């Protein structure tokens, strides 16, 4: 079985050859002299040859030691360069950030504020993945993700920014044609525009403070794995939909959509910023997380939305 090369010992060998002293090498790396001496002895035993001539006055390289010195020096210098580069990346506000974010939210609310951050820190670059599917941050080497969901137990670190209300909405033209339901059981006579990534499948689940829980299966002329894709049909009066408040905020203000059955609540989800396990993260990533937390927490839809029920 092959053994890994003893890179630490070769690096110490290179430094001993440079300084000409076990003691000076130990002091430079904050090690004991015995540690340095044992590393050189370990190499010599492994190589089956002597690397230094030793006497009471000085050290000198043997022929074998001299032959190994150039490559050992490269091991030392490359190791120092790697550590310096990684340390620079971790503490400096420069370098790439890979991020995954839900499609509709990312395009409507994250992309517009991105230029502000890029202007502040021009040495930071971004690689965005827009999509509603839940991706593995670690396997896909993402630095962070934005998730709008109920966070299941996981090893990910999550910063919760705020709850996201889910509202039952429809267009005035729809309500003129089909009327406004007062109870979830009436939804069986209505048309639903369904978000196919919902955990409840083809059913809508509601809660009432006095009447408790009620789940209703919905006839669905349209299913989509992106909530924004349902908006044209929704505004055209072709069905009702459960939509996150951030997606229908403008339409509710303009009257293009109305809320209905407001006494019946859908369990809220929440906006989270998630990062891979481990408390330490590069400074550029932490700066972007802080920026998102500040800018996204001032969203206008966080104010109470008046119910449009008559």
Examine residue 132 and state whether it is found in any structural domain, yes or no.
yes
Asked if the structure places residue 307 within a domain, the reply is: no
Task: Give the sign of the dihedral formed by CA 34, CA 39, CA 42, CA 43.
Answer: negative
Asked whether the beta carbons of 197 and 166 are under 8 A apart, the reply is no
Residues 135, 20, single domain; the answer is no
**Is the pLDDT at 197 greater than 50, yes or no?**
yes
Which band of pLDDT confidence, cut at 50, 70 and 90, is reported for residue 134?
A: confident
pLDDT digits (tens, 9 = 90+) for 39-57: 999 998 998 999 998 887 7
* 152 and 294 co-located in one domain: yes
Give the end of a domain, one of 44, 60, 91: 91
- What is d(CA 13, CA 72) in angstroms, rounded to the nearest whole number? 7
Q: Look at residue 75 and tell me if it is in a domain.
A: yes
User: Who wins on pLDDT, 216 or 300?
Assistant: 216
Average pLDDT on 169-180 reads 95
CA–CA dist 27, 192 (Å, integer): 74
**Domain range spanning residue 26?**
7-91
Clarify whether residues 20 and 153 are in a common domain.
no
- Tell me the mean pLDDT in the region 9-30: 90
- Judge whether 308 lies within some domain: no
Residue 263 sits in a domain of what CATH number? 3.40.190.10
pLDDT, tens digit, 9 for 90 and up, residues 246-303: 899 899 999 999 999 999 999 888 899 999 887 678 889 999 999 999 888 877 766 6
73 and 218 in a common domain: no
Domain total in the chain = 3
Tell me how far CA of residue 78 lies from CA of 6, 11, 205, in angstroms: 15, 10, 59
Q: Do 262 and 113 fall into the same domain?
A: no
Percentage with pLDDT > 70 across the chain: 92
Asked, for residue 1, whether it belongs to a domain, the answer is no
Same domain, 100 and 244: no
Is-contact 268 149, C-beta < 8 A? no
The answer to whether 229 touches 146, Cβ cutoff 8 Å, is no
Domain match, 177 and 263 both: yes
CA dist., res. 113 & res. 126, Å (int): 13
Domain termination site, one of 38, 59, 91: 91
Q: Is 182 inside a domain boundary? A: yes
Residue 2 forms part of a structural domain: no
Separation between Cα atoms, residue 97 and residue 114, nearest integer Å: 12
Same domain as 190, residue 50: no
The sign of the torsion formed by the CA atoms of 236, 238, 239, 243 equals negative
Q: Are residues 160 and 181 in the same domain?
A: no
Pair (149, 110) in one structural domain: yes
Pair 256, 171: CB distance under 8 Å: yes
Per-residue pLDDT reduced to its tens digit, 177-196: 999 999 999 999 999 999 88
Q: Identify whether residues 274 and 132 lie together within a single domain.
A: yes
Same domain, yes or no: 66 and 77:
yes
What CATH number does the domain containing 41 carry?
Answer: 1.10.10.10
Q: Choose the final residue of a domain: 91, 109, 124.
A: 91
Question: Would you say residue 11 lies in a domain?
Answer: yes
| 102-112 per-position pLDDT tens digit | 998 999 889 99
């Amino acid at each position: 079985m092959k053994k890994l090369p003893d890179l630490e010992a070769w690096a110490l060998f290179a430094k001993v050859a440079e300084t000409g002293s076990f003691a000076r090498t130990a002091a430079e790396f904050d090690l004991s002299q015995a540690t340095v001496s044992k590393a050189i002895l370990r190499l010599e035993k492994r190589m089956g040859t002597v690397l230094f001539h030793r006497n009471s006055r000085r050290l000198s390289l043997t022929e074998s030691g001299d032959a190994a010195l150039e490559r050992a020096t490269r091991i030392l210098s490359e190791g120092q360069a790697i550590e310096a580069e990684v340390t620079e990346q971790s503490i400096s506000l420069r370098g790439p950030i890979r991020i995954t974010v839900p499609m509709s939210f990312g395009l409507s609310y994250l992309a517009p504020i991105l230029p502000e951050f890029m202007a502040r820190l021009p040495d930071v670059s971004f690689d965005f993945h827009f999509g509603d599917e839940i991706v593995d941050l670690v396997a896909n080497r993402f630095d962070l993700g934005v998730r709008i969901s109920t966070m299941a137990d996981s090893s990910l670190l999550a910063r919760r920014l705020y709850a996201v209300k889910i509202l039952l909405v429809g267009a005035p033209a729809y309500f003129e044609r089909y009327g406004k339901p007062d109870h979830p059981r009436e939804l069986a006579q209505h048309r639903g525009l369904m978000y196919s990534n919902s955990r409840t499948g083809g059913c809508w689940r509601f809660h009432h403070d006095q009447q408790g829980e009620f789940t209703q299966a919905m006839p669905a002329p349209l299913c989509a794995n992106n909530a924004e894709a349902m908006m044209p049909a929704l505004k055209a009066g072709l069905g009702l939909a459960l939509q996150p408040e951030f997606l229908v905020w403008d339409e509710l203000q303009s009257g293009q959509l109305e809320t209905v059955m407001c006494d019946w609540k859908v369990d809220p989800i929440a906006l989270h910023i998630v990062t891979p396990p481990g408390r330490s993260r590069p400074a550029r990533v932490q700066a972007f997380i802080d920026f998102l937390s500040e800018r996204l927490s001032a969203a206008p839809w966080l104010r109470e939305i008046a119910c449009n029920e008559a």
